[in-house]
Structure 1
């Protein structure tokens, strides 16, 4: 059984899509631990704010199958194959960590490098699992957040 950390985000009808996304994931994978919810300005484009959080789940699925199932959920929520990387999302689900795996695994780089580059992933994870030390790191996520080098990323706690 693997412990998987996912990043969920949406800026198109975000409260509805995040609530429904969590419900869909709960039906498919069972109850999950949820981080506090944050709202953030979009990164890389001008648009509506995003709602983001980190979730954890336990699964026996191989990473490749889990990734495929998560992509299908995104498609069910209206994700388009050819959408630009920096654009609005109905529901974005990214695998951030899988146990203590590091490096390339079935086309995914773990831990996801965005975790260390974007506050919308690191901040909620630091609130949920402050003492977690990600693979390849020597500091906890709380320490990494306290030393986060990108202060221009505006984000704040919110509720669904």
Structure 2
């Protein structure tokens, strides 16, 4: 049994619908679902805002299995990978799995950008106030050091 933290996001088409599809795709393993946040784009900034959330999941899957499940959901949403950090129907990132570290280019763990991304850390903090990002420290401390401009909790939107 492993426990994983997954970050989900969308900024194309039915953003909320794509996030709900991701939640449904992990329904059997869901431990927690964060509130939805609307966030300014990161990396390539000339694109629409994202809806983001975090899922905490647990099941009889290894790190690569969580990655493959996320990629299957991305593919089902019609995701096309043409531009790094570009617009997408659905993005499912494996943030951490039971503190495992991996330097495999296809599955870096913990996720290399997570410590600097409010789009990951803020929703994660909502569902796990004592969360720790392996090798980087307490999520609450990491959030305290970030600029939270462009990150808005959307209590009018629900994933469940």
TM-score, with structure 2 as normaliser: 0.87
CA deviations 1:103-128 (Å, max 9, x no partner) are 32583111112211211011111222
Task: After the TM superposition, list the runs of 4 or more consecutive aligned residues in structure 1 that deviate by more than 3 angstroms.
Answer: 29-32
Contact (CA 8 Å) 2:29, 2:59: kept in 1 or not?
A: no
- What residue in structure 2 maps to residue 101 of structure 1? 100
CA gap of 1:30–1:65, structure 2 versus 1, over 3 A, is closer
Q: Unaligned regions of 5+ residues in structure 1, if any?
A: none
- What residue in structure 1 maps to residue 15 of structure 2? 14
- What residue in structure 2 maps to residue 130 of structure 1? 129
Contact (CA 8 Å) 2:34, 2:55: kept in 1 or not?
A: yes
The CA RMSD measured in Å over matched residues stands at: 1.8
CA gap of 1:3–1:152, structure 2 versus 1, over 3 A, is closer
CA deviations 1:36-90 (Å, max 9, x no partner) are 211101112312110001101112222223322221111010012x421122111
Correspondence for 1:156 among 143, 152, 157:
152
Paired positions, count = 154
Q: Unaligned regions of 5+ residues in structure 2, if any?
A: none
TM-score, with structure 1 as normaliser: 0.87
